[in-house]
Structure 1
């Protein structure tokens, strides 16, 4: 006997940072002429009073580009020293990560992502590729070749409504690919960054 969905699934609460991200996206959409000022005021009011992700998601669903925009992908070359992208940065719709000997680390936790889908093509090499995604993101690895290093996907199940989908393709190589959510130390650092 299965539990009723209304009892087993609780709405996930939105944080101040979640509301602020939606507000910023709405203001940019108004500046670009995608919504008028009256609609901006209405959506801002709903965003600021939203308590859950389910209330926030519809406010920007029609503003997130579905298709991958033209342009060069972000390329991260691990080389001998390694490469990383973390902190506050703008996520492009396509990323290429080449682990090399030093490895690549990509942290999306504080990143500004306006895309519904991000394509991440990896080549693990010797150093491997480590990926950190916020809670609520969906990570799809069906098209990833495991190679010798294999894949460790430590993310949790289905994503939040309206949250980005990260499609990981390519090969894990010898160094492997690790996908996870922020650990305790990273979550504490994130909380500190949001309060300052």
Structure 2
């Protein structure tokens, strides 16, 4: 009875984000010496042409727990107190942000990101969800449902080659979604962190 969902999940079509996550894991495995360059080339070719999750899974199954589920999302819930992800952190291919009552702030300024696209599913609720992105990153907000809330994209809009695209979906609810570049205080803190 439980095998059917697994088979269905395996047949699900893989997205560019799913393929990119597997490619990143394979590159890391090669850098750590867990697979050689010949095997890396072979697996990369298969990853880039994979159409389903079932085709992607075997490419990382033998690389340990970190590679078991390439599409495991990062979930950040604001709750009552609010939540944030700042400083140095590794950006996964998918992020779920629930504003709750306290709001959520995701600061990508110092985050490690080698992905071309990141799916960010936002539910602002009654709070504010703030995404702080470096200059050159693009935020695609076409799929966001405004509902009774507000969406403000204060970024420059310039997308530099090789920089990530945030594909933002979800709903503002009665709250706010704001995308912006680091402010003066945040830039000053980054400079201090880098000088340590």
The reply to whether TM is greater than 0.5 is: yes
The Cα of 1:27 is off from its aligned counterpart by: 8.4
TM-score by length of 1: 0.66
- Alpha-carbon distance between aligned partners in 1 of 2:28 and 2:147, rounded to the nearest angstrom: 44
The Cα of 1:28 is off from its aligned counterpart by: 7.5
Give the match for residue 4 of structure 1: none
Give the match for residue 144 of structure 1: 144
- Gap change, CA 1:105 and 1:34, over 3 Å in 2: farther
Report whether the alignment pairs 1:127 with 2:118.
Answer: no
The Cα of 1:70 is off from its aligned counterpart by: 2.8
Give the match for residue 105 of structure 1: 105
- Gap change, CA 1:169 and 1:28, over 3 Å in 2: same
The Cα of 1:188 is off from its aligned counterpart by: 1.0
- Alpha-carbon distance between aligned partners in 2 of 1:185 and 1:105, rounded to the nearest angstrom: 15
Give the match for residue 31 of structure 2: 30
Gaps of 5+ in 1: 1-25, 37-61
Gaps of 5+ in 2: 1-26, 39-43, 54-68
Contact between 1:109 and 1:134, CA under 8 Å: does it hold in 2?
A: yes
- Alpha-carbon distance between aligned partners in 2 of 1:30 and 1:125, rounded to the nearest angstrom: 42
- Alpha-carbon distance between aligned partners in 1 of 2:29 and 2:109, rounded to the nearest angstrom: 21
- Alpha-carbon distance between aligned partners in 2 of 1:29 and 1:165, rounded to the nearest angstrom: 26
Q: Secondary structure at the match of 2:142?
A: coil
Give the match for residue 19 of structure 1: none
The Cα of 1:31 is off from its aligned counterpart by: 3.2
- Alpha-carbon distance between aligned partners in 2 of 1:28 and 1:72, rounded to the nearest angstrom: 18
Count of residue correspondences: 144
TM-score by length of 2: 0.66
Report which of the two has the higher share of helix.
2
CA deviations over 1:103-130 (Å, ceiling 9, x no partner): 1111111111121110000001011211
